[in-house]
Structure 1
Amino acid sequence: MNTKKVKTIRTLIVVIVCSIITIGVTVGICCYNYYGYINYKKLYLEDYFDQNEGTNLSTQEKIQKAVKWDADVYTDKLNIQYRDPITKEFITEDKVSNDEAENVNAYYENYVLHLPKYFDINFYKVLTSYYDKETKKTELSVAHYFYFSNINYNQIKDFSPQYIYMTFVDGVGEESDLALQEALDEMSENELSVGNVSSIYYYSLTSSDNQDVLATYSLYDNPRDVYEDDEDEDKSYYIYQNRCAKSYDNNTVFGQTRELTFCVYYINDSDEGDKELINIVEGTFTPELNDEDEILTNEEFKALNSNYKGYNKEFYQDSYNAFIRPKIIKTGLLTFGITLLLCGLLAFIWLYEPKATENAKSKSTKKKR
């Protein structure tokens, strides 16, 4: 075979092999960084949940992002009405001006209840979906949540948001109001705290193989006030979440009755005296109904056009893509450059033929002649 043709074929093979190696390594590294590199997921969640203690987002934005992360679909456009626990007047966009009210200057705007005396309240209905390995079907689960933020820590001495409770009774009207008041009186007299307790919102990142917790992310609050004599200047304040579950008599699930009357209250468990129950706000809630005038099923709720689409705790979506794209491009270019350089060096070694060897062969041929 012609020597020149052999060299051409050899060069072509080397170029193809080096190209495959360069592209393969670059694509492999980029795919690993996108799907498997846990540190990028941690960085994304730190940015998503604004872990720099409220430097970028308002509390309302943080709550909405947290709900969006957890939910398959969600909404805050719900049939809920808040009222003052003393005057029983409903709280609207106009600030409460009655001096006898528990929540003077309170108002409800853009689906957020602002209680200057205590905190702000967001209320969400959240649907999540998961694959059940036993039934081999995708199951749907619905829950209702209160979120407490912009907490006024100066209102109550030694205020601890984990002592914010929520409870409810079936129905609306005088009988339900009386039943709710009787429940509060019973808890107050017996120093009980029967209700759905609040806790710090958090999301835990776990490993895919053994579900070990790799990192935990909470929502930092922007409290309006803190204790003036608080010695711990580095103390962090968080947004709290309360899942509305069972009624006071434990017979009804929140959202599964046509009408209900609820209250959010606080148990002041200070060392200075007995437990004090503070009724902060009351309200009524009516779940969505279908054309048959029945409470929506989970499937019907998921299909509503008025809902917002969430991430259902999945990474591979628009928010994650926007965050990681610049990092993937940077890593890909760097990997491509380094791999191309190494493959070029390898190709040079494969194709290199010392001239000294060729000259030696030429002289040897002449001597034989």
Structure 2
Amino acid sequence: MYDDAGIGPLAVYAHGGLASQALEQRMDLFDWTPVLRAGRRLVRYDARGHGRSTGRPVDEDYTYPSLADDLLGLLDHLGTAEAVDAIGASMGCGTCLHAAVLAPDRFSRLVLLLPPTAWSTREPYARANRAAADTVERHGAAAWLSARGERPRPAVVADVPDLPPAPPEPLLPSVLRGLARSDLPPPAVLVALRCPVLILTWADDPGHPVSTAAALADCLPDAELHVSRTRADVRTWGSRIADFLTALPARTRGDARVPPGAGGPGLPRASGAPGAGQAEGEGRRTAPSHPARKESAMNSAPPEPELPDRVPEKRDAVTPDLPPLGPTAPDLPVAAKDRAAGDDPEDGKGEQAPAEGAPDEAAPDEAAGGNDAGEKGERPAAGPGNETPQEPTD
């Protein structure tokens, strides 16, 4: 099931683990109005087994690659011929990256919100999710949730309400195990992605560590990173996303892509310092240097002339408000089985105990399942999603 609003080029949003569109609206974390007003058609969907989308008790259905197949199946259903913009939070971040690796020509830009734990920091959360799944099967979801002790959340989402996980209890163990089996694509694979990427995350969230976001910004050829430290700054994410999606396409110099803000004649200089109107500590943007760019700059004998800016198309600046419900897409689980399904968000700081209140993958509690404290152990906390309920990391 999905919600469809706005008119213009298509952007698709994938939520975090254990969340849903309805849960995220109740959390009131993200404001999508700027994206609609910028002249974008925004489709937000419930991942299989979450919210209004049905699912099966099959672990493999909830891995990132399977969720990526579901996303590609949704694009097929929408009948999009051109490349689209994709936005994903936590588990949705993993979904979008895997989909972009599988079909890079289908995506024009990526926005990655709250990247979950990945690579070397992933295993503790995977263990916690597996333990949580066992607890839910033996004692029920209520016992698992009540057994978990209260853990501090990131300051930016401390006031966001705790909500029960979106997947129904019969599917919850499979969702948790599917997320436990998931990880972001290897850095060696991500370096081949050429589309512009915006990465937005917040500080002090073990389930969505800044280290993952920074590592992604380093390995993706055309990435921009912003770290928020206050709720007020998180409120600017909708406008930041709208600005990014409507920016002029990256220009090319020689064989190297140069995104707006990367520097060079006629281009604004990128800097780690706060931009105009941005308070110190509110966030930071980085335009990681790329070997190809450096090499191109060093070997360019006579500088090549700058290409003229492309004149952006005019788009309707006023779009309708998000409808409560959108059209019903063919059952995601079925569409996904035609391709392969997948979905899950998470983000955590290394070995710190995951904080509640993030979007995607929540980590199961040790108490509930004898898990490691370093793994997630709260209910799907506030945020786009959680791999294990109450503590978003995927």
- Bigger relative contact order, structure 1 or 2 (CA pairs below 8 A, ≥6 apart): 2
- By percentage of residues, which structure has more strand? 1
Place the TM-score, normalised by the shorter chain, in its bin: under 0.3
**TM-score, normalized by length of structure 2?**
0.22
Q: With structure 1 as the length reference, what TM-score do the two structures score? A: 0.24
Higher CA-based Rg: 1
